[in-house]
């Protein structure tokens, strides 16, 4: 063996000392915790200092008691389940449509030329602008909510996949050709894994977009879900419930992104993910 | 046998015709060890890629008539070492090496073959490492292992040892000679190192500006020692050939 330069780099993870590890975890947790506490303090402080009536902005204590109330009578949980069910089914359908579409389009120059202008046009339209038409076509039931989520999630995933496929290194494809792989095999074993980082970014952006579109759809026409809970609270002048709804939506969005990132680290360790949120 | 008949390749670059290869006529017998030597841009890699079927020649033809002797597949088994390692970043070292054999042979056979080449390359400890954890020299050894693992009938090597330190290079030159003597695959080896060419080849073709300018038959028994008189004399002869070469332009407007 002549290369010893890399052995150190390779064994470093097992040599990290225990207290260093604890300290880095403590640092990771403590900073966000401090920021959250400070935000709540600022929120409570500004209410008393500026004398804001609670109908405009409830105090943290009021929001907390509203949250307890909503949790205890099970209402919050019901709305969350409805929203998550809608998001999951819409998201899965969007993935099932957009990934094969991207792969098929990438394989044909002519399909790309013909469909690209249409797709570029459709991409510019906010999903919520399609709401009136979707209500006419699909009614005001679950199909319409799921439809909105599909519209919101389709393009981030589709465009991410298309870009990733286009960026696949032709030199790696040559390795496949030399190895005697046919075109579908090259697509499956080289192009797909090499496009995965871009696909993953698309999937994460789509998740964020899906949440936004869902809550929007529930605000406009719905009888359940977190968006509906907020509108219903507005009609009853319950700003405390509105604040709870907003916080829950934020927490669920964060959690789903964390889960997505954990899945990436677990199953695709070569994909580099940035620290910041993807759904900016 | 591998045969080129008036083979030519023209690339169009910025409105100019670049003659990467012109009128190549050579025959490489099955089981021979051929070295293409020449400076950068002389067309060695293009010729190797044409042998591999990675590019279509502009003129002329290539006949690949090598009886497949491998048990793995009925078609011709090609091993190609690219100038860069070209490893899949999402696969471990072992998976990269076994890439071309996956689903073509049993899992046990694949594991055994991968373990064999890993130990030949001195990479056993890095079997589960990912490409971004390897040094440049290690990565190029993985590329070499990937080409050798399938016992190819046709082995095409594009400066495979260029990124290696002198000691590892010397050892792997020996390994390559041993593999070739044991199994007699048809080998085409591209290098710009004249000493390496003389150490390894049966036949050395000197290339310049897309042409084959000279053929040298190296009738020196193996194993070859780079310090012996015969090797140094042959090396001097080839180097003199390069020095006497005029420098025609690659671009014909």
Quick: pLDDT tens for A50-59: 888 888 888 8
Strands (E), chain B: 2-13, 16-28, 33-37, 59-64, 78-81, 154-158, 186-191, 203-208, 211-217, 251-252
Angle at CA A19, nearest 5°, toward A14 and A24?
90
Cβ atoms A152, A206 nearer than 8 A: yes
Residues in chain A whose Cβ is within 8 Å of chain B = 1-3, 5-6, 9-10, 171-172, 174-175, 177-181, 189-190, 193-194, 196, 268-270
Angstrom distance (rounded) from CA A225 to CA A78: 8
Please tell me if residue B90 touches chain A, with a CB cutoff of 8 Å: yes
Look at residues A116, A280, A99, A131 and name the one whose alpha carbon lies nearest to residue A219.
A131
Please give the pLDDT value at position A6: 47
Please give the pLDDT value at position B164: 87
A78 CB neighbour count, 10 Å cutoff:
14
Please tell me if residue B169 touches chain A, with a CB cutoff of 8 Å: no
* Measured distance between the N- and C-terminal CA atoms of chain B, rounded to whole angstroms: 36
Question: In Å, how far is B25's CA from the nearest CA of chain A?
Answer: 24
Angstrom distance (rounded) from CA B57 to CA B60: 7
Cβ atoms B205, B42 nearer than 8 A: no
Residue with tokens 């871009």: A198
The reply to whether omega before B223 is within 30° of 0 (cis) is: yes
Please give the pLDDT value at position A279: 42
Average pLDDT over every residue of B85-108:
92
Strand pairing category for B16-28 and B154-158: unpaired
Please give the pLDDT value at position B115: 94
Cβ atoms B141, B121 nearer than 8 A: yes
Please give the pLDDT value at position B69: 66
* pTM given for the model: 0.77
What's the mean pLDDT when you consider all of chain A?
86
* Nearest CB neighbour to A270, from listed B90, B165, B167: B90
Angstrom distance (rounded) from CA A136 to CA B1: 71
Please give the pLDDT value at position B70: 58
Angstrom distance (rounded) from CA B178 to CA B64: 24
Angstrom distance (rounded) from CA A80 to CA A71: 11
Average pLDDT over every residue of A157-175:
92
Is A8's pLDDT higher than 50? Answer: no
Q: Which CATH number fits domain B1-77+153-253: 2.60.40.420, 3.30.470.20, 3.40.50.410, 3.40.50.300?
A: 3.40.50.300
Question: B86, A9: Cβ pair inside 8 Å?
Answer: no
pLDDT in tens, B44-85: 999 999 999 899 999 998 888 877 765 566 677 889 999 999
CB interface of B with A, residues 34-63, below 8 Å: 52-54
Angle at CA A6, nearest 5°, toward A5 and A11?
125
Angstrom distance (rounded) from CA B9 to CA B56: 8
pLDDT in tens, B166-190: 988 998 899 899 989 988 899 999 9
Percent of chain B with pLDDT over 90: 58
Please report the ipTM that was assigned to this predicted complex: 0.87
Residue with tokens 């957009």: A98
Is B93's pLDDT higher than 90? Answer: yes
Band the pLDDT of A278: cuts 50, 70, 90. very low
A·B CB contacts under 8 A:
62
Is A165's pLDDT higher than 80? Answer: yes
Average pLDDT over every residue of B75-96:
91
Cβ atoms A227, A212 nearer than 8 A: no
pLDDT in tens, A50-86: 888 888 888 898 999 999 999 999 999 999 999 999 9
User: Per this entry, what is the length of chain A?
Assistant: 280
Look at residues B38, B27, B20, B135 and name the one whose alpha carbon lies nearest to residue B87.
B135
pLDDT in tens, A22-45: 888 888 888 888 998 999 999 989
Is A15's pLDDT higher than 60? Answer: no
Q: Please report, for chain B, the start and end positions of each structural domain, with discontinuous segments joined by +.
A: 1-77+153-253, 87-150
Please give the pLDDT value at position B73: 65
B108 CB neighbour count, 10 Å cutoff:
8
Is A1's pLDDT higher than 50? Answer: no
Band the pLDDT of B251: cuts 50, 70, 90. low
């Amino acid at each position: 063996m002549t290369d010893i330069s890399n052995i150190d780099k390779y064994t470093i993870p097992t040599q990290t000392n225990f207290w260093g590890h604890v300290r880095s975890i403590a640092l990771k947790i403590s900073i966000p915790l401090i920021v959250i506490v400070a935000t709540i303090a600022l929120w409570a402080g500004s209410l008393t200092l500026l004398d804001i009536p609670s109908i405009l902005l409830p105090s943290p204590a009021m929001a907390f008691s509203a949250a307890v109330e909503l949790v205890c009578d099970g209402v919050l949980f019901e709305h969350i389940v409805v929203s998550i069910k809608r998001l999951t089914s819409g998201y899965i359908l969007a993935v099932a449509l957009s990934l094969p579409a991207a792969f098929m389009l990438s394989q044909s120059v002519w399909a790309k030329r013909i469909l690209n202008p249409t797709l570029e046009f459709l991409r510019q339209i906010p999903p919520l602008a399609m709401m009136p038409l979707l209500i006419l076509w699909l009614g005001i039931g679950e199909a319409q909510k799921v439809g909105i989520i599909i519209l919101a999630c389709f393009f981030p995933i589709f465009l991410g996949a298309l870009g990733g496929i286009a960026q696949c290194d032709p030199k790696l494809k040559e390795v496949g050709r030399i190895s005697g792989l046919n075109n579908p095999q090259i697509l499956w074993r080289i192009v797909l894994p090499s496009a995965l980082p871009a696909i993953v970014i698309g999937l994460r952006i789509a998740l964020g977009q899906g949440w936004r579109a869902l809550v929007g759809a529930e605000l406009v026409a719905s009888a359940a879900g977190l968006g509906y809970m907020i509108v219903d609270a507005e009609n009853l002048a319950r700003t405390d419930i509105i604040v709870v709804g907003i916080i829950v939506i934020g927490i669920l969005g964060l959690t789903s992104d964390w889960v997505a990132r954990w899945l990436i680290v677990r199953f695709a360790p070569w994909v580099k993910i940035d620290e910041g949120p993807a759904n900016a | 046998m591998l045969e080129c008949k008036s083979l030519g390749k023209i690339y169009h670059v910025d409105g100019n015709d670049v003659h990467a290869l012109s009128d190549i006529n050579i025959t490489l017998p099955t089981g021979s060890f051929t070295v293409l030597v020449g400076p950068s841009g002389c067309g060695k890699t293009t010729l190797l890629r044409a042998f591999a079927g990675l590019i279509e020649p502009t003129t002329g033809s290539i006949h690949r008539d090598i009886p497949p002797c491998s048990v793995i597949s009925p078609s011709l088994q090609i091993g190609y070492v690219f100038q860069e390692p070209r490893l899949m970043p999402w696969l471990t070292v072992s998976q990269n090496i076994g890439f071309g054999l996956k689903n073509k042979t049993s899992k046990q056979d694949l594991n055994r073959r991968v373990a064999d080449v890993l130990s030949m390359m001195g990479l056993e400890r890095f079997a589960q490492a990912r490409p971004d954890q390897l040094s440049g020299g290690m990565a190029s050894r993985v590329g070499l292992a990937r080409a050798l693992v399938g016992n190819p009938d046709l082995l095409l090597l594009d400066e495979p040892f260029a990124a290696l330190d002198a000691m590892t290079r010397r050892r792997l030159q020996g390994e390559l000679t041993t593999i070739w003597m044991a199994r007699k695959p048809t080998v085409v080896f591209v290098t710009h190192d004249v000493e390496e060419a003389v150490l390894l080849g049966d036949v050395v073709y000197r290339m310049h500006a897309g042409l084959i300018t000279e053929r040298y038959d190296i009738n020196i028994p193996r194993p070859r020692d780079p310090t012996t008189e015969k090797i140094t004399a042959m090396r001097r002869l080839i180097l003199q050939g390069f020095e006497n070469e005029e420098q025609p332009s690659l671009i014909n407007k």
